Structure 1
């Protein structure tokens, strides 16, 4: 009963924090950063792996429909965009309400002797960003009264889940509602990513991005605590394994990424800059860096790096001869090589690296039946089309997929196609060139399948070095988050650009 009371109090803290944080513009931005990261992270790292475990690959399809369906329908039916947005908001809130029933059931499980108290503490703690998000989403849209009604319903449904026992929970279990919950999870992500009540008008110069950055770092801290607690519960052993895998990848990657950023600073110092007048040199940097080759060589082996170098060289030569310009150019560059390597390049690559790790953790999940190399290649091609991966992001994705047991043709495709195979870049080519590029990309994957090279890590560093490297890398990524704020940080991932989805609703209260 104490757990139930604590979870309801955690929900009610939302309006109190909201009132305090919206007292001035900077604090409002901090609140936005906190909710953006904590609720978005909770869905990506905690809820999605669990949905995959129960629903397989089809669960991802329903999440994508929930996430991009509203955006697509708003573009198709401009007149009804507000109706679509409000419907998505209702779906998202409905999903959170449904989730509260299972929260109540989880607290009953936590009281059993064989389960850890950390399970209940995790449920109670994750209600804090949920309560905040409900108020953040609803108060500007429908006013405080209706927001309070929804919070009241959440507390009531938590009590239902707590007292109703196993019979009700069996009907609402993930096995029975996995696709509905997947669709609703996509709706929640859509609402979180596309601010329902827009950016503050007083922050045109981005003066408060620092506050948003601090809020997002607090959100990351809460997320980290929740994941640590979750691994203490026995109920989520598959999910905790998924979280541990993510941690292992980050530890392995950290020293090599730091080395890559150092090499980027050195090559910038020697004149290999994104503002080179020679198109061939610009393509070399777009496709390979060459710092992306270091990740491949050290963590997948020199043979794989050689295959990657040959494939990228052929692509670069073809595009240089065709006089095609790379998309997403570097608009302004720092003068210092170290600022280029450890600030500018981190701002551009960190979101892609994090996305690559989360993506590989999801599509490389044992519950996702993508064992066929041809299906793996097809899934990656569809994934790359709407995105503009950087070369480091592509290398990290390839590495993570290799570690997840994916086939070598799929890994090679990620290494070669990720930085170039996207709609924005393909639009700059004529049909003949597009066919040549696609043939070259698929040809590299096919040759890899025929030769079947084996990957192996070139080096294994001691745990203390990996840990120190990860702390330094985390600090550099955190500095980037503080500089840009979470939304601008994530805007590098082109699909998530807030500008592409603005709601100019007028609300009268």
Structure 2
């Protein structure tokens, strides 16, 4: 009898995790019902899902996939993200079908992931594992439940959205009770590429806001609410990361959140110094609206505030290499009169507002992207030892984007920390701010060839010389922490000002604006960002 009571108590304790994970999903309809009562609250909900679900995929799911599938995993993720966009452009008539297939894939992927969640809760209760893992699983169900309802209810109605939530609960139970037998069949080793493709589909769905609420905020009047939602999403992500690192040993732990925080601590005080330099050079007259094309190119390529980060954290040889390389590129662009793509709109005459508001708005998304990118492509499970392969991967990253100078040096720094070759680091310093589809469109083939020649010479020099140096700055931990707090506050204020979608819209400027507009004037760029931030995925309002 005593054994029966003990067994029943254990069973109840174990069941509590399962029940809690199912209840977490039910918060979705409750959140949606409360937040759909006004446009501002809707934008807040959108911001919360955009950051929490997107961050969950990038920080929690993707490193796990990389660990099991290696570099090819990233290709399947990119196929999932960009495949639907490409097919919508190719088959305009069938864009609605493509969109629905992507949505189905994304939901299917989340359903598949719930089985492994159920299994993870069983593992958490085994001896030697922390119950924080189970708590982490339960917590990350919150944004998933909200996202399911947010994505499906406007598209297919309450009945189908409820059916999907019910299916998620059933599949969690299946994963929980079937335990290890089923998990070996559905293990990441067996389904890693499928899950990578589906993960890309989830990111695509999150990025493209697939329902009718986008039209309601054309003036950007609810960006503050969207910013608050995204900050709450970041808070939830931070909590999940703390649980993740405290709860159980991952193979990618050393290359996960702990390394990410370590990078942030090292970079933050120097980055703060760069913003001060930007403020000073704006005050002295070196501004984005300067009449001299050469000085405008100097600002685009180096700032020159970006050179401070290279000098202090990569060392004097890398800084000298970057100065000489960028001088050669700047001279070529100035002498052949190449226009700058995506020019910096001058919004204010105040140097402080330029350095600590406008420049933060412009550089923060690139800095975050650079750190996330380096954390992924520098992952130990992505063995890219060959410098030529590293340069080729970076080329694929740079072409569809347009890195700002601060984002460039942060990426180079993070790659150096990840153990990439000095050739790849040197190539990043020279190529990232200039080598993009948007910029190449403004150049003729001769100018393109000459730019290619300079980059090739730069690669040959980096191959022959030793640029690495031990003369890098080591600041006290207290200074690093203060710097990180200041940067978090600056980036948080930027997120509040812009909302998460507009905050990240710069990253996609080439892909979104290039086919529609060739007007590269100072104000059209800002308008384009507004349009794409608020326009629906399939209807562009120009």
Please tell me the TM-score bracket, short chain as reference. over 0.9
Unaligned runs of 5+ in 2: 1-14, 513-530
154, 161, 176: which one aligns with 2:190: 176
Q: Distance in 2 between matches of 1:192 and 1:406?
A: 31
Q: Given the alignment of the two structures, is residue 230 of structure 1 paired with residue 244 of structure 2, yes or no?
A: yes
SS in 2 for 1:378: helix
139, 143, 152: which one aligns with 2:166: 152
Contact 1:231/1:240 (<8 A) preserved: no
Bigger drift between 110-119 and 266-275 goes to 110-119
Q: In the TM superposition, what is the alpha-carbon distance from 1:442 to its structure 2 partner?
A: 2.1
Q: Given the alignment of the two structures, is residue 19 of structure 1 paired with residue 21 of structure 2, yes or no?
A: no
What is the aligned partner in structure 2 of residue 320 from structure 1?
334
Q: Compute the RMSD of aligned alpha carbons.
A: 1.3
Q: Given the alignment of the two structures, is residue 460 of structure 1 paired with residue 494 of structure 2, yes or no?
A: no
Contact 1:299/1:456 (<8 A) preserved: no
Bigger drift between 226-235 and 359-368 goes to 226-235
Q: TM-score, normalised by structure 2?
A: 0.91
Q: Distance in 2 between matches of 1:428 and 1:203?
A: 33
What is the aligned partner in structure 2 of residue 447 from structure 1?
461
Q: Given the alignment of the two structures, is residue 125 of structure 1 paired with residue 159 of structure 2, yes or no?
A: no
What is the aligned partner in structure 2 of residue 207 from structure 1?
221
Q: In the TM superposition, what is the alpha-carbon distance from 1:438 to its structure 2 partner?
A: 1.1
398, 411, 429: which one aligns with 1:397: 411
SS in 2 for 1:393: helix
SS in 2 for 1:146: helix
Alpha-carbon displacement from aligned partner over 1:31-82 (angstroms, at most 9, x marks no partner): 0000000000001111111111110000000000000000000000000000
Map of 1:99-114 to 2, 5 A cutoff?
99-114=113-128
Bigger drift between 47-56 and 236-245 goes to 236-245
Count of residue pairs brought into register by the alignment: 505
Alpha-carbon displacement from aligned partner over 1:325-377 (angstroms, at most 9, x marks no partner): 11111223311111100000000000000000000000001111210011111
Bigger drift between 81-90 and 486-495 goes to 486-495
What is the aligned partner in structure 1 of residue 527 from structure 2?
none
Q: Distance in 1 between matches of 2:203 and 2:142?
A: 17
Contact 1:60/1:182 (<8 A) preserved: yes
SS in 1 for 2:348: coil
Moved over 4 A (4+): 495-498
Q: In the TM superposition, what is the alpha-carbon distance from 1:131 to its structure 2 partner?
A: 0.1
Q: 1:321/1:504 Cα in 2 relative to 1: closer, same or farther (>3 Å)?
A: closer
Map of 1:63-462 to 2, 5 A cutoff?
63-239=77-253, 241-456=255-470, 458-462=472-476
SS in 2 for 1:491: helix
Q: In the TM superposition, what is the alpha-carbon distance from 1:199 to its structure 2 partner?
A: 4.2
Contact 2:403/2:433 (<8 A) preserved: yes
Q: Distance in 1 between matches of 2:214 and 2:418?
A: 42
Q: In the TM superposition, what is the alpha-carbon distance from 1:502 to its structure 2 partner?
A: 3.0
What is the aligned partner in structure 2 of residue 499 from structure 1?
532
Q: 1:293/1:474 Cα in 2 relative to 1: closer, same or farther (>3 Å)?
A: same
Q: In the TM superposition, what is the alpha-carbon distance from 1:457 to its structure 2 partner?
A: 5.2
SS in 1 for 2:246: coil
Alpha-carbon displacement from aligned partner over 1:198-226 (angstroms, at most 9, x marks no partner): 44433221111000000000000000000
Contact 2:76/2:193 (<8 A) preserved: yes
Q: Distance in 2 between matches of 1:481 and 1:265?
A: 20
Alpha-carbon displacement from aligned partner over 1:224-247 (angstroms, at most 9, x marks no partner): 000110012224242364211111
Q: Distance in 1 between matches of 2:471 and 2:183?
A: 45
